[in-house]
Amino acid sequence: MARWEPDARARLANAALDLYLERGFEQTTVTDIAQRAGVTERTFFRHFADKREVLFDGTNALQSGVLEAIATAQDGNAFDIAGRALVAGSAFLEERGEFAGRRTRAILANPELHERELLKLARLSTAIAEALHDRGTPTGAARLAAQAAVAAFSAGFERWSGAGTSATLAESIEAALAEMRGIVGTA
């Protein structure tokens, strides 16, 4: 094993995802991932708390970006502020397109991972609602706007990470937000 090779984190993430898709999440161990990436288990644990976190690594960055965008947003209704913040906060995901599609397939193939994804989205929704409330939106309206915006984000992300779209992530999320507005009659 090489003493040091650059970008161990990315190699670990790609190795894990390859193994999850080949063998399944449950059948893949940290040892398998480390071996595939050409690093030690210790190196794996320097980068990730456990084998699930490989798939949820970007969650904190997404939430931070979204909350920052809400804090600096111009005036508007709560749904639009949350939607624009989700587009802005998710910009870093654009460069992870191929990884995102594979990640989505791995998560949907495992009920435990799918549940974790839904919990992370619920936490994001709660954080958005609190940020909207801090801007003066009443609690109930903030929760509803946050949940609707996160649902649109999720739909846009799923479309973008699936096969066959030429739209960017931002365009996919914006289209889902517009669709949501159309559903409730505010388009």
Average pLDDT over the chain, rounded to an integer: 91
* Domain co-membership, 42 together with 113: no
- Same domain flag for 85 and 141: yes
- Give the residue numbers spanning the domain of 32: 8-47
Dihedral (CA of 75, 134, 87, 61) sign: positive
Tell me the CATH number at 37: 1.10.10.60
Question: How many structural domains comprise the chain?
Answer: 2
- pTM score: 0.86
Residues 121 and 177 in one domain: yes
Spatial separation of the C-alpha atoms in residues 142 and 136, rounded to whole Å: 9
Residues 13, 83, single domain; the answer is no
Give the other-Cβ count within 10 Å of 35's Cβ.
16
The residue-averaged pLDDT of 16-25 equals 95
Answer yes or no: are the C-beta atoms of 33 and 15 closer than 8 Å. yes
**Mean pLDDT, residues 122-151 taken together:** 97
| 29 in any annotated domain | yes
The reply to whether 84 falls in a domain is yes
When pLDDT is averaged across residues 123-135 and rounded to a whole number, the result is 97
Residue 108 lies in a domain: yes
